Amino acid sequence: MSGVAGSENGAAAGRASPSDRDRRRSDRILLTIPIIVEGLGPDGKEFSETTRTLVINRQGARIQLSHRVSPGTLLRIKLVSANRQAEFRVIGPTRPLSYQGGEWGVECVDKAVNLWGIGFPPSPEKEAQASALLECRDCHSVNLTRLTLMENEVLTESGLLTKECKRCGRLTSWGYTEQSVGVPVPGQEAEPSINEVVDSQAVGANRRAHRRVALKLPVRLRSFYGTEELAQTENVSKGGLCFISDKTYQIGEVLLVI
């Protein structure tokens, strides 16, 4: 049985889920660290800017920049207070750009480097990682793509990611797919998707106020009675989400989703 929860009706239900999908890839910290960023702008000119981090995690950060940069380019980030530096790849903007600059998500190229000098909890052997059904905006190929913490944040904020497309043979823009994709196992009939099961309840009527996107995210669920569990979304929309769970919930039950 699938689960659906959202602000539109507050309903929730559950079904079985793998128990090892129970942690985020990396803890995020709201921390301002003075840094020096060096790199190339879209015009090919070198720049050096003293700025700061806004959020950091084990793999990267969200930083403030007055200079424009392009997704996929490399930046060298140096700590102002210490003799440490590392190369970071630009993932994309995390806020709309303005004439004053913008906020950008970056990830460290060398995952073994701990530029911030902060100890994060060790990663579990099987990390709970977000994944989304994305579509290349050039060739329209659709892939289920695993996302890092920063990629997921950029995708959520801007709706687009710059990633390598094997069919196009170059970096292209990827966004949530609007295609209806379903591939049955050879020799078996395709089982109805969660979309089909839920939509079958609204024959001849469009009860969806918001478009849904296929996005798998680890979430924490808290019931009215205070019990908690870790689950995973199947798809999300502005007004709600559909999740898989190892518990059973009643229609109309209120859940706090963290």
- Digit-coded pLDDT (tens) for 152-182: 888 877 788 888 899 999 988 888 886 655 4
pLDDT value of residue 1: 39
Q: Can you give the residue ranges of every domain in the chain? A: 1-24+127-180+210-258, 29-108
**Under CATH, domain 29-108 is a member of which superfamily?**
predicted glycosyltransferase like domains (2.40.10.220)
Buried b / exposed e over 91-116, threshold 16 CB at 10 Å, is: bbbbeeeeeebbbbbbbbeeeeeebb
Compute the mean pLDDT over every residue in the chain, rounded to the nearest whole number.
75
218-223/102-108 β-pairing: unpaired
CA distances from 94 to 65, 151, 156, 203 (A): 12, 10, 8, 39
d(CA 22, CA 159) in angstroms, rounded, equals 25
Helices (H) then strands (E): counts for the chain: 2, 17
Q: Does 20 have pLDDT greater than 70?
A: no
| Average pLDDT rounded to a whole number, residues 4-8 | 46
Percentage of the chain exceeding pLDDT 90? 25
- pLDDT, tens digit (0-9, with 9 covering 90-100), for 37-92: 999 999 999 999 999 999 898 889 999 999 999 999 999 999 999 889 999 999 99
Please say whether the beta carbons of 190 and 158 come within 8 A: no
Enter the pTM of the model.
Answer: 0.59
